[in-house]
Structure 1
Amino acid sequence: MSVHADLLARHKAVLPGWLALYYDEPIEITHGEGRRVTDAEGHTYLDFFAGILTNAIGYDIAEISDAVRSQLAGGIVHTSTLYLIRQQVELAEKIAKLSGIPDAKVFFTNSGTEANETAMMLATQFRRSNQVLALRNSYHGRGFGTIAVTGNRGWSASSLSPVNVSYVHGGNRNRGPFRDFNDADYIAACVADLREVLATATAGDVACMIAEPIQGVGGFATPPDGLFKAFKDVLDETGILLIADEVQTGWGRTGEHFWGIQAHGVTPDMMTFAKGLGNGFAIGGVVARGDVMDSLTANSISTFGGNPISTAAANATLDYVLEHDLQANALKLGNKLMNGLRHVGDENPVIGDVRGKGLMIGVELVEPGGDTPSARAATKMLEETRKRGLLIGKGGLNGNVLRLAPPMTLTESEADEALEILAESIAVTNEELTR
């Protein structure tokens, strides 16, 4: 039995059956350097999914390792928020300033799920309402409240909910009843839908809308710029809060802006974040208007959120992103990858759409000769790219969208290498589907 097969058998014996694994023969990643990882059987891959957009600047980064070692040298791994944590305060100061939110305050959590749960708790407390608006095709986490606002059946495990949720159109530009509209008409139709939902499906005193600027699990579905500004104009009429879920779109990954929501010319009332901030260390959080953050009247702490180790790593990661202008690199190489993939798509009808921003790219796969979503093509692509030394992700409501999100330190030669592998794999997949 191979190393991976043995570990898979042990995994199945003690871990949940619903814990998703990639590949017909799942792999264990044991080493990493730069943008490359090595599995337990010695195979090396160029990583274009980065632990689900989490290893934002790659592997074995000296600045991050040094920061963590420095914190460990003092012997303090944990204290809890009952004590002052210098690294936490310094990180909060940076994020509050970068957020653009007036009088911003920051609360740290351990994950994006917990961050979104916290944001909804703050919004419902501030507004004294349990009514929440969410977008169709969305994903916000696996907690009880975040599953409730997830508009994707494949990731929504329960119909039970602590909040009263109403869904609006707007997330997936490529599917749904407004798909053939131009951008201006699409935004107008979505705003009309929002007004209709508010008038018919709610009691009026809605707490918040939570939305991803680009839907991650939803297949990097990218709405037209300006949609969320148009939404917020409606929300502001009655004081409904806007929460931007920046768990995947934050820290410059979209290239054009530091936060995904900035593409819409609007400042939200709250933003949630996680993933790339710690470059693999567990950290998430909420940055919000001061009055919203301080609206919680009960006592509260976070045992592990914003702990000394995770905030040391996050400070080093954020400094690295800013000092090396990785946002500009994401824009440059993201455009290169999307242009290359669109060229490949001209010759392979299995590609229905290439979309995204910066180093957050979705490739929608369809059955050749039409626009029927092809989950089998996406599954085939994962296997073909892995065989050639490239790791990618997949998502979308129909499981037919390739998700490409390499570390933002990606080099031009690595982008060329990935394009070559993707082109070869797409050609093989296209040929198999057209036989």
Structure 2
Amino acid sequence: MGHEELLARHRAVMPDWMALYYEQPIELASASGRRVTDREGRTYLDFFAGILTNAVGYDVAEISDAIRSQLSTGVLHSSTLYLIRSQVELAEKIAELSGIPDAKVFFTNSGTEANETALMLATQFRRSDQVLALRNSYHGRAFATVAITGNRGWSASSLSPVKVSWVHGGYRFRSPFKGLSDADYVKACVADLREVIETTTAGDVACMIAEPIQGVGGFSSPPDGLFGAFKEVLDEYGILFVSDEVQTGWGRTGEHFWGIQSHGVTPDAMTFAKGLGNGLAIGGVVARGDLMDCLTANSLSTFGGNPIATTGALATLNYLLDHDLQANAAKLGERLIDGLRDIAADRPAVGDVRGKGLMIGIELVGADGAPDAARAVAVLEGTRERGLLVGKGGLYGNVIRLAPPMTLTEDEVEEALGILEDVL
């Protein structure tokens, strides 16, 4: 069955709002390393990795063998009503890596569910339904996470179980504070935060939740130190800080293992997902013990932290650490950003090249500097035609997102740069 026939069947039974890439969508049939092959036999270099999820790449023996070993026991599932050895071992490792004092971990099935859990913990702990979120943010597609998503294109409903106040900071390229120095930008955003708390809330806010680098928002980020400055204000009011590390965790930014570490602050909780499972469905929250234990009713997770997911995730995390993929992300990310900025130097359609490690955004603009979504679509299609898969996002749909597996090689960076130079 070819792509055209499968697309017709897809449209007949799947919701209209479920996004597909490309004018002629493709089905991925097999993969190895950093390359995927579609059902019609075309092979591509994958620079989006299932939305940053296949962090180690495809068909990695150490991960596949661990999953097969668990499959051989016959125990694919037990629920959290029973002890799960791999779940405990994974939680121990994540708690230690988090840097959060007395940390405890709860596993979920996705980043959306992780962020929902963090909101439930924070609102219960603070006995408040007020939340601070950043403009241009994205935190998931469930009821509460849509409410804290500051991007109209991904916010399907105005209804909300929480009361949200919006602050500046995450998207600098089109911020009213864009022209300021790093230090003055931070001061302006901190002043905005304080004013928002004093004018739009009752003061007893539950938490602020923020992505260190805004993912769907086009890989945009503030100057280092902004969230450290925010945390000083939040501490004055007793407001918790939750770092959404769904896309920035596991060393992808190169500089640090967690994106928030660039800001010199330890959050009260972090949410995670995506790259941890290298394709398996897993997410979770790591938080201070008193925050994690604040629920007064029974709870569990039927599928979260199941034996298959946690076995695969533990193998993935060990592989990341054993092969120092954070260092690889830093080294090759620098080459990729430098190469893209060289390409952009004489291409006015490229308004901005930004990012850290292997998490890079290319913002496309028109002659007047306005967002140009059509050019981003053209780049998306043009790279696919030349054998490179990239992502697309941004508040205005005009940003190309690059997030290849962290096992990327130097030759693959040069191959991708050649294709991007040609297309741009």
Q: TM-score w.r.t. structure 1 length?
A: 0.97
Within-5 A mapping of 1:132-143:
132-143=131-142
The answer to whether residue 267 in structure 2 is matched with residue 272 in structure 1 is no
The reply on whether 1:80 has 2:79 as its aligned counterpart is yes
Aligned Cα root-mean-square deviation (Å): 0.6
Q: Output the CA distance in 2 between the equivalents of 1:402 and 1:12.
A: 26
Partner of 2:110: 111
Q: Which residue of 1 aligns with 2:374?
A: 376
The residue type paired with residue 351 of structure 1 is V
Other-structure match for 2:408: 410
List gaps (5 residues or longer) in structure 2.
none
The CA deviation at 1:394 is 0.6
Secondary structure at the aligned position of 1:209 is classed as strand
C-alpha distance in 2 between matches for 1:69 and 1:29: 22
Equivalent AA in structure 2 for residue 27 of structure 1: I
State the Cα distance separating 1:356 from its structure 2 match. Answer: 0.4
Aligned ranges 1:7-156 → 2 under 5 Å: 7-156=6-155
Pairing 1:299-310 to 2, within 5 Å after superposition: 299-310=298-309
Measured after TM superposition, the shift of residue 179 of structure 1 is 1.1
**2:324 pairs with 1:332:** no
After superposition, residues 234-383 of structure 1 pair within 5 angstroms as: 234-367=233-366, 369-383=367-381
Q: Any idea what the Cα deviations from partners look like across 1:288-346, whole Å, max 9, x if unmatched? A: 00000000111000000000000000000000000000000000000000000000001
How far residue 388 of structure 1 moved from its aligned partner, in angstroms, is: 0.4
Q: CA deviation at 1:83?
A: 0.2
Runs of at least 5 residues in structure 1 that lack an aligned partner in the other structure = 427-435
- The offset of 1:370, in angstroms, is 3.0
Match of 2:220 in 1: 221
Residue 348 of structure 1: CA displacement? 1.0
Q: Given residue 418 of structure 1, which amino acid in structure 2 is its aligned partner?
A: A
Identity, in percent, stands at: 75
Structure 1 position 176, deviation (Å): 2.2
- d(CA) in 1 for partners of 2:165, 2:99: 28
> Normalised by the size of structure 2, how large is the TM-score?
1.00
2:385 matched to which residue of 1?
387
**CA offsets 1:211-253 (integer angstroms, 9 cap, x no match):** 0000000000011000000000000012100000000000000
SS at match of 1:210: strand
User: Which residue does the alignment assign to 2:195?
Assistant: 196
Structure 1 CA distance for aligned equivalents of residues 174 and 257 of structure 2: 27
Give the AA of the match of 2:156. A
> Equivalents in 2 of 1:403, 1:85: separation in Å?
37
The one-letter code of the counterpart of 2:249 is G
Q: Aligned residue for 1:431?
A: none
In structure 1, what is the Cα distance between the partners aligned to 2:134 and 2:168? 6
SS in 2 for 1:237: helix
Deviation at 1:411, TM superposition (A): 0.2
CA deviations on 1:414-434 (whole Å, 9 max, x unpaired) are 0000000000010xxxxxxxx
**Other-structure match for 1:420:** 418
Q: Distance in 1 between matches of 2:46 and 2:346?
A: 25
Deviation >2 Å, runs of 4+: none
